[in-house]
């Protein structure tokens, strides 16, 4: 078949990958010269640890396998089987972590509750004072700023992939034809729309009742740390935002320990990943009410700096980049993604939320299976 994929973020790129892998020809159309949205403005985490049990966890675990397989073939994506440590500072936080290890799917996630010495054995850079950490062996990382580019180069080498950047798709028709803003019409057998947080224009025309919202976040990146951060790192505020940690112990934590005013106001958690160059990507915040602010605000960065320095037991390297990003999230957050047929032969796949980088290989594989590629 000839498959047309619209949108060159990680979700669209993974759909192109699976189509080429199954022997099809792919035309990939992107409105920017290359991806510039949430797919490059994220942590690069393959984040199994906090996923909801059932379909979401199954999707994340399958995606983790696929990332590792693809990473072996495309080293440029920077796949690393890092695991993660979610650091706890007191008994109430430790109780939430311990409850997570009693989940029936704890072994599949690679959960273990570690004391400080065991946590530092895995990640010696954690020199601050803390009570313990929840280890998740299945977590991993890739390099978000370069992963799509590396995947595109590998796809181009197949001889069955064409990339058209700087083209915005304005119309689609039954049967698999699309018209771009240059006036060119492209014909295919199947069209997959992976337009990310771009939910207006053509997407609104095709799916006016789309159950997807936009979410904004702020992040930052530092100079090289000067030593290896061997795992991804989270704080206990992350327990409040990920469904895997829901428990009576989490309810008790919420009752006795409020977030700081800044963390609560910006719906914050700490996630931290070391980049290939040694710098740290640190975040994040959550903003749900539109219209979003056009600027970044400083209080969240100050809060995160304090949290990181307490865990590392040392000053944070100089912050070199600060940015905001927007991603699309299903309003029913129990769903992994929104997948909808909007025309004959035309499918819209969007709304993975903060799961996009983690789950995209498996989401795209499911699309391929459903369409019998």
pLDDT at 174: 77
Q: Report the b/e string of 333-347 with b at 16+ CB within 10 A.
A: eebbbbbbebbebbb
The closest of 8, 5, 16, 71 to 44, measured between CA atoms, is: 71
Cβ proximity of 67 and 46 under 8 Å? yes
Indicate whether 1 and 51 sit together in one domain: yes
Under-50 pLDDT residues of the chain:
none
pLDDT digits (tens, 9 = 90+) for 177-229: 999 999 999 999 999 999 999 999 999 999 999 999 999 999 999 999 999 99
Same domain, 295 and 257: yes
Q: What is the CATH number of the domain that holds 109?
A: 3.30.9.10
Q: Give tens-digit pLDDT for 65-111.
A: 999 999 999 999 999 999 999 999 999 999 999 999 999 999 999 99
Q: Name the residue range of residue 61's domain.
A: 1-82+139-211+335-373
| Same domain membership, residue 309 and residue 369 | no
Asked whether the CA dihedral 351, 232, 57, 257 is positive or negative, the reply is negative
Non-local CB neighbours of 71 within 8 Å, separated by 6+ positions = 77, 78, 79, 142
120/185 same-domain check: no
Phi-psi region of 200 (alpha: psi -120 to 50; beta: other; left: phi over 0): beta
| Domain total of the chain | 2
pLDDT score recorded for residue 219:
97
pLDDT of residue 176: 83
Judge if 113 and 64 occupy the same domain. Answer: no
Residue 72, CB-side half-sphere exposure with 13 Å CA sphere: 5
CATH of the domain at 164: 3.50.50.60
71 conformational bin, left if phi > 0, alpha if psi -120 to 50, beta if neither? alpha
Distance from C-alpha of 371 to C-alpha of 366, rounded to nearest angstrom? 9
Same domain membership, residue 144 and residue 205: yes
Q: What is the pLDDT of residue 193?
A: 98
Q: Specify the pLDDT at position 137.
A: 98
Q: How far apart are CA 176 and CA 186, in angstroms?
A: 8
pTM for the predicted model, two decimal places: 0.96
Kindly report the backbone phi and psi dihedral angles of residue 141, in degrees, each rounded to the nearest multiple of 5, phi listed first: -150, 150
Same structural domain for residues 229 and 275?
A: yes
Strand pairing of 280-283 and 2-6?
Answer: unpaired
**Ranges of H-type helices in 110-178:** 116-122, 144-156
Same domain, 246 and 371: no
| DSSP letter assigned to residue 196 | T
Phi, psi dihedral angles at 73 (to 5 degrees) = -90, -30
254 and 310: one domain? yes
pLDDT at 334 (0 to 100):
79
């Amino acid at each position: 078949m000839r498959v047309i994929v619209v949108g060159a973020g990680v979700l669209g790129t993974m759909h192109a990958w699976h189509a080429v892998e199954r022997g099809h020809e792919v035309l990939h159309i992107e409105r920017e010269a290359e991806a510039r949205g949430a797919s490059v403005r994220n942590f690069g985490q393959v984040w199994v640890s906090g996923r909801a049990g059932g379909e979401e966890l199954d999707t994340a675990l399958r995606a983790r396998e696929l990332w590792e397989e693809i990473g072996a073939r495309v080293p440029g994506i920077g796949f690393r089987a890092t695991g993660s440590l979610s650091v706890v500072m007191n008994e109430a936080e430790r109780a939430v972590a311990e409850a997570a290890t009693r989940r029936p799917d704890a072994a599949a996630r690679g959960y273990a509750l570690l004391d400080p010495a065991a946590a530092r054995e895995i990640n010696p850079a954690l020199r601050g004072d803390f009570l313990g950490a929840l280890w998740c062996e299945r977590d991993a990382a890739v390099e978000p700023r370069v992963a799509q580019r590396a995947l595109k180069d590998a796809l181009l080498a197949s001889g069955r992939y064409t990339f058209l950047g700087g083209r915005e798709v304005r119309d689609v028709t039954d049967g698999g034809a699309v018209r771009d803003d240059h006036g060119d019409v492209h014909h295919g057998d199947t069209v997959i729309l992976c337009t990310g947080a771009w939910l207006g224009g053509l997407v609104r025309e095709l799916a006016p009742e789309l159950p997807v919202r936009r979410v904004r976040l702020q992040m930052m990146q530092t100079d090289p740390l000067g030593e290896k951060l061997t795992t991804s790192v989270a704080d206990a505020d992350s327990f409040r935002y990920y469904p895997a940690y829901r428990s009576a112990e989490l309810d008790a934590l919420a009752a006795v320990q409020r977030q700081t005013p800044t963390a609560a106001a910006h719906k914050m958690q700490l996630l931290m990943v070391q980049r290939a160059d040694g710098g740290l990507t640190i975040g994040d915040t959550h903003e749900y009410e539109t219209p979003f602010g056009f600027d970044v605000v400083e209080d969240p960065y100050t809060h995160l700096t304090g949290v990181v320095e307490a865990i590392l037991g040392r000053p944070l390297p100089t912050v070199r980049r600060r940015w905001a990003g927007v991603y699309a999230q299903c309003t029913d957050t129990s769903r992994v993604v929104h997948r909808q047929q909007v025309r004959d032969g035309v499918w819209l796949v969007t709304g993975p939320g903060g799961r996009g980088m983690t789950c995209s290989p498996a989401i795209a594989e499911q699309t391929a299976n459903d369409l019998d590629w």
